[in-house]
């Protein structure tokens, strides 16, 4: 059916609880579902043993100790027993609607990426997966919170084996940008990109950013974040679920004609920024001699 793969934070406190919740939910998607956990974080080996999943402790990291994305994707595709894989963040609970969506998309054949938006939800305790109504309880919590993130917030990536094999730039995980590149690459390579938001309720268990020494600011704006942003090439390699070629609905797969408009706007923005920053670079010596400094540089708009 499917191979899930992920890389965790240390299994401590609240983070440990929600990561176990997530992994247990993935296992229940299908009796043949496979889960591979990458990384030697505190508690990872024990959690893998207790949950009955595969553990790969050795992961390539940068000088800050942050894990690289590419070796994890390559390793998962080398190890997976299934042709359909899903990289997923360790704070996401999946429900049975995910299995239905995967079966519908894989039945079409060909190369594909299926992803979707998430629902932010406060879950602070272990989910009782032995309760008959556990799924209904989690779904109700998400609907009551009613906080669905916009199209650029993507936490699961279901794809055909080979789509991201030995072709991923040196992004680091846990910092922004890599998720949007994954969507862009699937589109750019000609694969079918399916937005499953309308049929898959991916439940994100809210948490803080205490795992980074500078908190949320470090995650979103720090040195590693800037390096990830640079790999997006000024927005040229940036896409969201609005760029999906198709949308999965309760009635079936539908073409997303709107994606051409979104893509054209984004290309125009990237071209404008390239010209602007090129002019700044070209005129820098003259401006320096005249004592002029750049003020009010127009920032590239973040498009949803």
Token couple for 261: 């408009």
pTM: 0.84
Q: Do the bridges between strand 246-249 and strand 252-255 make them parallel or antiparallel, or are there none, so unpaired? A: antiparallel
- For position 75, what pLDDT does the model report? 98
Nearest to 178 by CA among 63, 72, 20, 21: 72
Q: How many Å separate Cα 116 from the centre of its chain?
A: 9
Burial class (CB in 10 A: 0-12, 13-18, 19+), 95: buried
Give the span between the Cα atoms of 123 and 120, in whole angstroms. Answer: 10
Q: Report DSSP letters for the chain, one per residue.
A: --EEEE-PPP--HHHHHHHHHHHHHHHTT-TT-EEEEE---TTHHHHHHHHT-EEE----B-TTSPBBHHHHHHHHHHH-SSSEEEEE-TTEE--HHHHHHHHHHHTT-SSEEEE--EEEE---S---TTSTTHHHHHHHHHHHHT-B--TT---EEEEETTTTSS-----BTTSTTHHHHHHHHHHHTT-EEEE-TTT--EEEE----TTSTTHHHHHHHSHHHHHHHHTTGGGTT---GGG-SEEEETTEEEE-TTHHHHHHHHHHHHHHHHHHHHHHHHHHHHHHHTT----SPPPPP---
Residue 222 is predicted with a pLDDT of 83
pLDDT at 207: 87
203 closest CA partner among 82, 91, 93, 47: 93
Cβ atoms 169, 231 nearer than 8 A: yes
Query: Residue 227: which of 297, 299, 173 has the closest Cα?
Result: 173
Per-residue pLDDT at 258: 82
Provide the sign of the torsion angle of the four alpha carbons 203, 14, 215, 40, taken in this order: negative
Which residue is it, tokens 């984004």? 266
Query: CATH assignment of 3-255?
Result: 3.90.550.10
- What is the chain's length? 304
**Beta partners for residue 201, in sequence order:** none
Q: What span, in angstroms and rounded, lies between the C-alpha atoms of 291 and 64? A: 37
Lookup result for tokens 């070209």: 282
The residue to which tokens 């896409």 are assigned: 239
- pLDDT the model gives residue 280: 55
Domain boundaries, the chain: 3-255, 264-304
pLDDT of residue 239: 96
Where the chain has pLDDT below 50, the residues are 269, 273, 277, 293-304
pLDDT of residue 267: 56
* Burial class of 135 by CB neighbour count within 10 A (0 to 12, 13 to 18, 19+): buried
């Amino acid at each position: 059916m499917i191979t899930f793969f992920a890389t965790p934070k240390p299994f401590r406190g609240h983070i440990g609880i929600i990561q176990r919740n997530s992994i247990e939910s993935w296992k229940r998607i299908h009796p043949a579902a496979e889960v591979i956990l990458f990384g030697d974080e505190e508690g990872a080996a024990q959690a893998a043993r207790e949950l009955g999943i595969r553990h790969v402790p050795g992961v390539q990291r940068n000088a800050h100790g942050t894990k690289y994305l590419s070796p994890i994707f390559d390793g998962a595709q080398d190890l997976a027993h299934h042709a359909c894989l899903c990289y997923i963040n360790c704070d996401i609970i999946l429900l049975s609607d995910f299995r239905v969506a995967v079966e519908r998309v894989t039945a079409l054949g060909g190369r594909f990426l299926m992803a979707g938006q998430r629902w932010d939800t406060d879950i602070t305790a272990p989910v009782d997966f032995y309760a008959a109504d556990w799924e209904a309880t989690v779904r109700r919590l998400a609907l009551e919170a009613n906080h669905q993130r916009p199209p650029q917030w993507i936490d699961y990536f279901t794809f055909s084996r080979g789509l991201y094999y030995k072709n991923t730039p040196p992004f680091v995980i846990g910092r922004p940008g890599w998720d949007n590149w994954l969507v862009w690459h699937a589109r750019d390579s000609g694969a079918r990109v399916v937005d499953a938001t309308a049929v898959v309720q991916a439940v994100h268990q809210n948490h803080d950013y205490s795992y980074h020494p500078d908190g949320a600011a470090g995650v979103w704006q720090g040195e590693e974040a800037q390096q990830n942003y640079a790999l997006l090439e000024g927005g040229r390699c940036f896409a969201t679920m609005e760029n999906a070629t198709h949308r999965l609905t309760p009635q079936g797969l539908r073409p997303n004609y709107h994606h051409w408009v979104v893509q054209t706007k984004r290309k125009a923005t990237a071209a404008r920024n390239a010209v602007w920053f090129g002019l700044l670079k070209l005129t820098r010596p003259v401006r320096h001699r005249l004592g002029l400094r750049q003020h009010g540089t127009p920032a590239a708009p973040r498009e949803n």
